[in-house]
Amino acid sequence: MTSSASPSAGTATLERVGNAERLVASGDWTLAFAKALSDRIAVLKRTLAAGTRIDVSAIGRIDTAGARLLLDLAEPASIDGLGVERRALLDAVAGAQIVVPAAEKRDAGLVEVFARTGEAVEKIARDSYGLLGFIGLILATLARLALHPRRWRVTSLVFHLEQTGLDAVPIVVLLNFLVGAVVAFLGATVLKDFGASVFAVDLIGYSFLREFGVLLTAILIAGRSGSAFTAQIGSMKAGEEIDALRTLGLDPIEVLVLPRVLALLIALPALTFLAMLAGIVGGAVVCVLSLDISPTMFISRLHDLGLTRHFWVGMSKAPLFAFLISAIGCLEGFKVSGSAESVGTHTTSSVVQSIFVAILVDALAAIFYMKIHL
């Protein structure tokens, strides 16, 4: 309030005037010295006789913290030496009620562990149920719309195709090329000891056509496009745009979800095809450069393997992954509530769920195809 030249720590000392004791406060009673002051006051409070007058005319600066501490010592009425300004400050502080909320008790015991586990399991069950419901909603809307070509949103579809498909080509191709090279190296290292380096070609062919091409692409797209879907729809939800759509008589599933789902249904298989090629090329480059397998030999070996059915096994999973990733991405977007923080939480959740589901479904598919001898 009133500025004094240099700050000095606030104190309070007892003085004896005749028979009566008087407490003299001096120095700066500000937040900076609040810790020392509160310790001092705790001591004084125990010894101070009721009705002791307090003289504060020697105080340099005082703020709300200082005023509060002063009031801990005495009633406003027994404080002397206040100017008009300081009296107003003290009255304001005295008038404010302080209710410190009771600290919440947290149970850190075994019960809490079980309770949390139960909550998590329940949440997974609820989320799965919600996802199934949402998938049903998408399929129903899709079926309804299939009969009305006029209401297909072609512009939106093309836009999302570009975003999720074309724009993802470089990263998908590069990543698969590199993993292809790594797999070739690994294979060659192990097989060389058996003098069977040429089987590295089989390894690359099988792994990329059957598993890696589609799985790597799905994981990349889950991180790249699934998260984008959640963020886009989520920020629309946070900005009440979804509500605006509804009031305008538009179906958010039809306008926002279907174009994204359909775009990914086209983009992911196409990207998977490129991923398979890139992986095989990556493997081929390593074979040619360091394993003494000529390009002709690589291609004829690949050809002899008869990999067509493996190609179709791999490709058959792409639309499934695409549908799941886009459904999870969009659903998480709709779950956003209000704040920007919520958008972030659900985007993370969307990516984690999509990648988890992609790997889970891939594992189930592997068992399924093995059992039916494909």
Partner 1 sequence: MNAREKVIEVRGLRNQFGDQVVHDNLDLDVYRGEILGVVGGSGSGKSVLLRSIIGLNRPNGGKIALLGQDMIDVSDARRAEIERRCGVLFQNGALFSSLSVEDNVMVPMREHFDLPFALMQRLAALKLNLTGLPAEAGAKYPAQLSGGMVKRAAMARAIALDPDILFLDEPTAGLDPIGAAAFDQLILTLRESLGLTVFMITHDLDTLYTICDRVAVISQKRVLVADTLARVERFDDPWVQDYFQGPRGRSAEHVAELAADRSEHTSKSIAAVATATTGTH
What's the CA gap between 371 and 53, in Å, rounded?
93
Which residue in 80, 292, 304, 341 binds partner 1 (CB under 8 A)? Answer: 341
CB 269, CB 315: distance < 8 Å: yes
Window contacting partner 1 (CB under 8 A); options: 86-94, 175-183, 234-242, 279-287 = 86-94
Window contacting partner 1 (CB under 8 A); options: 17-25, 29-37, 46-54, 283-291 = 29-37
| Residue-wise burial string across 120-140, b where 16 or more C-beta atoms lie within 10 A, e elsewhere | eeeeeeebeeebeebbeebee
Looking at the Cβ atoms of 99 and 111, the one nearer to partner 1 is 99
Sheet holding 53-62, edge to edge: 11-17, 20-29, 53-62, 79-80
CA neighbor of 326 nearest in space, from 241, 244, 233: 233
- Least Å distance, CB 66 to partner 1, is 9
What's the CA gap between 235 and 359, in Å, rounded?
28
- Least Å distance, CB 340 to partner 1, is 8
Residue type, 96: A
Looking at the Cβ atoms of 93 and 325, the one nearer to partner 1 is 93
Q: Taking CB under 8 A as the criterion, which residues in 109-128 touch partner 1? A: none
Which residue in 20, 43, 58, 92 binds partner 1 (CB under 8 A)? Answer: 92
- Under the binding rule (CB under 8 A), the answer on residue 106 touching partner 1 is no
- How many amino acids of this chain bind partner 1 (CB under 8 A)? 27
- Least Å distance, CB 5 to partner 1, is 13
Window contacting partner 1 (CB under 8 A); options: 16-24, 33-41, 211-219, 301-309 = 33-41
- Least Å distance, CB 285 to partner 1, is 48
- Least Å distance, CB 104 to partner 1, is 8
Looking at the Cβ atoms of 59 and 264, the one nearer to partner 1 is 59
CB 22, CB 33: distance < 8 Å: no
- Under the binding rule (CB under 8 A), the answer on residue 240 touching partner 1 is no
- List helix spans (H) across the chain: 34-47, 64-73, 84-95, 110-146, 154-164, 169-192, 199-206, 213-221, 227-238, 241-247, 252, 258-290, 295-305, 308-335, 340-371
Within 10 A of 343 (CB to CB), how many other CB atoms are there? 23
- Under the binding rule (CB under 8 A), the answer on residue 63 touching partner 1 is yes
The residues of the shown chain that bind partner 1, judged by CB under 8 A, are: 1, 30-32, 34-35, 38, 63-65, 68, 85, 88-89, 91-93, 96-101, 338-341
